[in-house]
Structure 1
Amino acid sequence: MSDGFKPYLPGVLALIADEISVDLAVRLAKQRGGREIYIAKDPAPGSSLSKIVGQSNAQKLYKLLGSGKMLVPAGNICGQTGRRQRIAMLLDQGVSHSIIAAEVDVHIRTVERMSAELRCPKDLRQSDLFL
Protein backbone atom coordinates (compact mmCIF):
# COMPACT_ATOMS: atom_id res chain seq x y z
CA MET A 1 0.00 0.00 0.00
CA SER A 2 1.33 3.46 -0.78
CA ASP A 3 2.40 5.54 2.20
CA GLY A 4 0.34 8.56 1.05
CA PHE A 5 -3.03 6.76 1.18
CA LYS A 6 -4.53 6.62 4.68
CA PRO A 7 -7.80 4.71 4.53
CA TYR A 8 -10.52 5.24 7.08
CA LEU A 9 -11.00 1.87 8.70
CA PRO A 10 -14.06 2.00 10.95
CA GLY A 11 -14.68 -0.23 13.95
CA VAL A 12 -13.68 -3.80 13.44
CA LEU A 13 -11.55 -3.01 10.37
CA ALA A 14 -9.20 -1.00 12.60
CA LEU A 15 -8.86 -4.02 14.90
CA ILE A 16 -8.22 -6.25 11.90
CA ALA A 17 -5.58 -3.83 10.59
CA ASP A 18 -3.81 -3.91 13.97
CA GLU A 19 -3.90 -7.71 14.03
CA ILE A 20 -3.04 -8.76 10.45
CA SER A 21 -2.11 -5.55 8.52
CA VAL A 22 -3.69 -2.50 6.94
CA ASP A 23 -3.26 -4.00 3.46
CA LEU A 24 -5.33 -7.07 4.36
CA ALA A 25 -7.97 -5.01 6.16
CA VAL A 26 -8.32 -2.85 3.04
CA ARG A 27 -8.50 -5.97 0.83
CA LEU A 28 -11.25 -7.36 3.06
CA ALA A 29 -13.14 -4.04 2.91
CA LYS A 30 -12.82 -3.88 -0.89
CA GLN A 31 -14.03 -7.43 -1.41
CA ARG A 32 -16.65 -7.78 1.32
CA GLY A 33 -17.35 -4.24 2.60
CA GLY A 34 -21.00 -3.69 3.48
CA ARG A 35 -21.73 -7.41 3.59
CA GLU A 36 -21.36 -10.30 6.00
CA ILE A 37 -18.53 -12.78 6.11
CA TYR A 38 -18.33 -15.93 8.22
CA ILE A 39 -15.41 -16.47 10.58
CA ALA A 40 -15.00 -20.20 11.21
CA LYS A 41 -13.45 -21.78 14.30
CA ASP A 42 -11.05 -23.69 12.06
CA PRO A 43 -10.96 -21.81 8.72
CA ALA A 44 -10.44 -24.06 5.72
CA PRO A 45 -8.00 -22.96 3.01
CA GLY A 46 -10.91 -22.61 0.56
CA SER A 47 -13.18 -20.54 2.82
CA SER A 48 -14.12 -17.08 1.60
CA LEU A 49 -12.22 -15.40 4.45
CA SER A 50 -9.10 -17.53 3.85
CA LYS A 51 -9.18 -16.68 0.16
CA ILE A 52 -9.13 -12.97 1.01
CA VAL A 53 -6.64 -12.79 3.90
CA GLY A 54 -4.96 -16.22 3.90
CA GLN A 55 -5.61 -19.18 6.16
CA SER A 56 -3.16 -18.22 8.92
CA ASN A 57 -4.60 -14.70 9.06
CA ALA A 58 -8.14 -16.10 9.11
CA GLN A 59 -7.11 -18.12 12.17
CA LYS A 60 -5.75 -14.94 13.78
CA LEU A 61 -9.08 -13.24 13.12
CA TYR A 62 -10.92 -16.14 14.77
CA LYS A 63 -8.73 -15.75 17.85
CA LEU A 64 -9.36 -11.98 17.85
CA LEU A 65 -13.09 -11.90 17.04
CA GLY A 66 -14.43 -15.41 17.65
CA SER A 67 -16.52 -17.42 15.22
CA GLY A 68 -19.73 -16.40 13.51
CA LYS A 69 -21.00 -13.88 11.00
CA MET A 70 -19.32 -10.50 10.90
CA LEU A 71 -20.64 -7.44 9.08
CA VAL A 72 -17.65 -5.91 7.30
CA PRO A 73 -17.76 -2.09 7.24
CA ALA A 74 -17.21 -0.44 3.87
CA GLY A 75 -14.83 2.35 4.97
CA ASN A 76 -13.68 5.00 2.49
CA ILE A 77 -11.67 2.76 0.22
CA CYS A 78 -13.02 3.96 -3.14
CA GLY A 79 -14.18 7.53 -2.47
CA GLN A 80 -17.55 9.24 -2.92
CA THR A 81 -17.63 10.44 -6.53
CA GLY A 82 -20.19 8.77 -8.73
CA ARG A 83 -21.50 6.24 -6.19
CA ARG A 84 -25.13 7.34 -6.52
CA GLN A 85 -24.97 7.15 -10.31
CA ARG A 86 -23.30 3.74 -10.24
CA ILE A 87 -25.87 2.41 -7.77
CA ALA A 88 -28.74 3.75 -9.89
CA MET A 89 -27.24 2.29 -13.06
CA LEU A 90 -26.71 -1.16 -11.50
CA LEU A 91 -30.20 -1.15 -9.97
CA ASP A 92 -31.59 -0.30 -13.41
CA GLN A 93 -29.73 -3.32 -14.82
CA GLY A 94 -31.35 -5.59 -12.21
CA VAL A 95 -28.16 -6.37 -10.28
CA SER A 96 -28.72 -7.67 -6.74
CA HIS A 97 -28.26 -5.36 -3.77
CA SER A 98 -25.43 -7.50 -2.38
CA ILE A 99 -23.45 -7.38 -5.61
CA ILE A 100 -24.03 -3.63 -5.93
CA ALA A 101 -22.76 -3.08 -2.36
CA ALA A 102 -19.58 -4.98 -3.21
CA GLU A 103 -19.11 -3.31 -6.58
CA VAL A 104 -19.69 0.27 -5.41
CA ASP A 105 -18.06 -0.18 -1.99
CA VAL A 106 -21.05 0.84 0.11
CA HIS A 107 -23.12 -0.84 2.80
CA ILE A 108 -26.01 -2.97 1.59
CA ARG A 109 -28.39 -0.74 3.57
CA THR A 110 -27.24 2.22 1.46
CA VAL A 111 -28.22 0.33 -1.69
CA GLU A 112 -31.59 -0.60 -0.19
CA ARG A 113 -32.26 3.02 0.83
CA MET A 114 -31.32 4.33 -2.62
CA SER A 115 -33.46 1.67 -4.27
CA ALA A 116 -36.45 2.81 -2.20
CA GLU A 117 -35.74 6.47 -3.05
CA LEU A 118 -35.58 5.68 -6.76
CA ARG A 119 -38.88 3.78 -6.61
CA CYS A 120 -40.58 6.66 -4.80
CA PRO A 121 -38.79 10.00 -5.28
CA LYS A 122 -38.98 12.53 -2.44
CA ASP A 123 -41.27 14.88 -4.37
CA LEU A 124 -43.89 12.10 -4.76
CA ARG A 125 -43.89 11.09 -1.09
CA GLN A 126 -46.61 12.16 1.27
CA SER A 127 -46.16 15.81 2.22
CA ASP A 128 -45.77 16.98 5.80
CA LEU A 129 -48.99 17.19 7.73
CA PHE A 130 -48.06 20.39 9.55
CA LEU A 131 -47.05 22.91 6.90
Structure 2
Amino acid sequence: MTQLPGIAGEIEDAIGLELTAKLLRARGGTEVNIPTRPGPNYVTELLGADATQRLIDVMGAGRIVLPCGHMRGRDAERIARRDKAMAMLAAGRSLREVALQCDLHLRTVERYNAERDRTIDQPKLPL
Protein backbone atom coordinates (compact mmCIF):
# COMPACT_ATOMS: atom_id res chain seq x y z
CA MET A 1 0.00 0.00 0.00
CA THR A 2 1.39 3.38 -1.00
CA GLN A 3 1.63 6.38 1.26
CA LEU A 4 1.83 8.90 -1.58
CA PRO A 5 -0.94 9.90 -4.02
CA GLY A 6 -0.97 9.89 -7.82
CA ILE A 7 2.24 9.51 -9.79
CA ALA A 8 4.28 9.64 -6.60
CA GLY A 9 2.36 6.58 -5.39
CA GLU A 10 3.04 4.73 -8.64
CA ILE A 11 6.74 5.51 -8.28
CA GLU A 12 6.61 4.41 -4.65
CA ASP A 13 5.09 1.08 -5.73
CA ALA A 14 8.00 0.58 -8.10
CA ILE A 15 10.98 1.69 -6.00
CA GLY A 16 9.79 2.14 -2.43
CA LEU A 17 9.12 5.16 -0.25
CA GLU A 18 12.74 5.99 0.61
CA LEU A 19 13.93 6.19 -2.99
CA THR A 20 10.76 7.99 -4.09
CA ALA A 21 11.35 10.63 -1.42
CA LYS A 22 14.97 10.93 -2.57
CA LEU A 23 13.82 11.45 -6.17
CA LEU A 24 11.17 13.99 -5.19
CA ARG A 25 13.59 15.94 -2.98
CA ALA A 26 16.09 16.06 -5.83
CA ARG A 27 13.77 16.74 -8.78
CA GLY A 28 10.23 17.28 -7.48
CA GLY A 29 8.24 19.75 -9.52
CA THR A 30 10.25 19.28 -12.71
CA GLU A 31 10.20 16.97 -15.69
CA VAL A 32 12.43 13.94 -15.50
CA ASN A 33 13.40 11.62 -18.34
CA ILE A 34 12.93 7.99 -17.43
CA PRO A 35 15.59 6.24 -19.54
CA THR A 36 14.94 3.22 -21.74
CA ARG A 37 17.45 1.25 -19.66
CA PRO A 38 19.69 1.88 -16.65
CA GLY A 39 22.97 3.43 -17.62
CA PRO A 40 24.96 6.62 -17.33
CA ASN A 41 22.07 9.02 -16.68
CA TYR A 42 20.77 11.14 -13.84
CA VAL A 43 18.03 8.75 -12.70
CA THR A 44 20.38 5.76 -12.50
CA GLU A 45 23.02 7.81 -10.67
CA LEU A 46 20.42 8.94 -8.13
CA LEU A 47 18.48 5.69 -7.64
CA GLY A 48 20.83 2.91 -8.73
CA ALA A 49 20.47 0.47 -11.62
CA ASP A 50 18.04 -1.95 -9.93
CA ALA A 51 15.59 0.76 -8.84
CA THR A 52 15.84 2.45 -12.24
CA GLN A 53 14.94 -0.81 -13.97
CA ARG A 54 11.94 -1.27 -11.64
CA LEU A 55 10.87 2.29 -12.41
CA ILE A 56 11.15 1.62 -16.16
CA ASP A 57 9.14 -1.59 -15.78
CA VAL A 58 6.29 0.21 -14.01
CA MET A 59 6.32 3.70 -15.56
CA GLY A 60 7.90 3.04 -18.94
CA ALA A 61 10.54 5.21 -20.56
CA GLY A 62 9.82 8.85 -21.29
CA ARG A 63 9.26 12.19 -19.61
CA ILE A 64 7.18 12.56 -16.48
CA VAL A 65 6.42 15.59 -14.32
CA LEU A 66 7.21 14.84 -10.71
CA PRO A 67 4.98 16.39 -8.04
CA CYS A 68 6.42 18.21 -5.04
CA GLY A 69 3.55 17.66 -2.62
CA HIS A 70 4.62 17.52 0.98
CA MET A 71 8.29 17.99 0.04
CA ARG A 72 7.88 21.76 -0.09
CA GLY A 73 7.39 23.04 3.46
CA ARG A 74 5.30 25.65 5.28
CA ASP A 75 4.05 29.17 4.48
CA ALA A 76 7.09 31.13 5.73
CA GLU A 77 9.34 28.79 3.80
CA ARG A 78 7.07 29.10 0.75
CA ILE A 79 7.29 32.90 0.86
CA ALA A 80 11.08 32.75 1.20
CA ARG A 81 11.24 30.36 -1.77
CA ARG A 82 9.03 32.70 -3.82
CA ASP A 83 11.23 35.70 -3.02
CA LYS A 84 14.36 33.74 -3.92
CA ALA A 85 12.74 32.50 -7.13
CA MET A 86 11.74 36.02 -8.17
CA ALA A 87 15.29 37.27 -7.53
CA MET A 88 16.77 34.41 -9.55
CA LEU A 89 14.34 35.04 -12.42
CA ALA A 90 15.26 38.73 -12.39
CA ALA A 91 18.91 37.67 -12.62
CA GLY A 92 18.12 35.66 -15.76
CA ARG A 93 18.35 32.13 -14.35
CA SER A 94 16.52 29.34 -16.18
CA LEU A 95 13.08 28.21 -15.06
CA ARG A 96 14.32 24.68 -14.36
CA GLU A 97 17.29 25.92 -12.33
CA VAL A 98 15.00 28.15 -10.26
CA ALA A 99 12.54 25.29 -9.68
CA LEU A 100 15.29 22.97 -8.48
CA GLN A 101 17.13 25.47 -6.29
CA CYS A 102 13.97 26.86 -4.71
CA ASP A 103 12.17 23.49 -4.33
CA LEU A 104 9.22 24.68 -6.42
CA HIS A 105 7.20 23.06 -9.16
CA LEU A 106 8.21 24.14 -12.66
CA ARG A 107 4.68 25.41 -13.34
CA THR A 108 4.87 27.54 -10.19
CA VAL A 109 8.11 29.11 -11.42
CA GLU A 110 6.51 29.68 -14.83
CA ARG A 111 3.62 31.46 -13.08
CA TYR A 112 6.06 33.61 -11.07
CA ASN A 113 7.91 34.47 -14.28
CA ALA A 114 4.64 35.48 -15.97
CA GLU A 115 3.78 37.68 -12.95
CA ARG A 116 7.20 39.25 -13.15
CA ASP A 117 6.82 39.90 -16.89
CA ARG A 118 3.42 41.57 -16.36
CA THR A 119 4.89 43.81 -13.65
CA ILE A 120 7.85 44.82 -15.84
CA ASP A 121 5.66 45.50 -18.90
CA GLN A 122 2.99 47.42 -17.01
CA PRO A 123 3.06 51.13 -17.93
CA LYS A 124 3.41 53.73 -15.20
CA LEU A 125 0.42 55.96 -14.47
CA PRO A 126 0.95 59.69 -14.98
CA LEU A 127 1.21 61.76 -11.79
Aligned in 2, Cα 1:9/1:101: closer, same or farther, shift over 3 Å? farther
C-alpha distance in structure 1 between counterparts of 2:101 and 2:17, whole Å: 21
Unaligned runs of 5+ in 1: 1-7, 126-131
- 4+ residue runs over 4 A deviation: none
C-alpha distance in structure 1 between counterparts of 2:115 and 2:50, whole Å: 43
Give the alignment of 1:33-112 within 5 angstroms.
Answer: 33-44=28-39, 46-80=40-74, 81=77, 82-112=80-110
Question: What is the RMSD of the two structures over their aligned residues, measured on CA atoms?
Answer: 1.9
The alignment's TM-score, normalised by the length of structure 2, stands at 0.79
3-state SS, counterpart of residue 56 of structure 2:
helix
C-alpha distance in structure 2 between counterparts of 1:84 and 1:70, whole Å: 24
* Pairwise CA distance, 1:11: 1.6
Equivalent pair of 1:29/1:72 in contact (CA under 8 Å): yes
The alignment's TM-score, normalised by the length of structure 1, stands at 0.77
Unaligned runs of 5+ in 2: none
Relative to total residues, which structure has the larger helix share, 1 or 2? 2
